[in-house]
Amino acid sequence: MNDTEKLIFTDDEGEEITLFVQAQTELGGTTYLLVTETEELEGDAYIFEQIEETDDELTFEAVDDDDKLAAIGAVFEELLADEDEE
């Protein structure tokens, strides 16, 4: 993907981490991001959910609930499979 959006996240220790958005979806009014540490969809992938929005900042946190991860992961798999078919 050459149009992958790059985001800077700040972890709990205040360290900045660059992640690349591979896919985005909204379920039940909540926005979810599938991100990786590289521009290409390879290696480890993480799912984040938006937990807060202010005028100038969006706040996301990693999804760590196994049931939620499985459900949202399935949605992202389908979205990515659809992109591959195009």
What's the Cα-to-Cα distance from 14 to each of 21, 47, 49, 82, rounded to whole Å?
Answer: 21, 20, 19, 36
Q: What is the pLDDT of residue 1?
A: 41
Query: Edge-to-edge strands of the sheet including 16-27?
Result: 5-10, 16-27, 30-36, 45-53, 58-62
Confidence of residue 83 (pLDDT cuts 50, 70, 90): confident
**pLDDT over threshold 50, residue 58:** yes
- Average pLDDT of the chain, as a whole number: 89
Q: Over the stretch 39-51, which tens digit does the pLDDT of each residue have?
A: 988 888 999 999 9
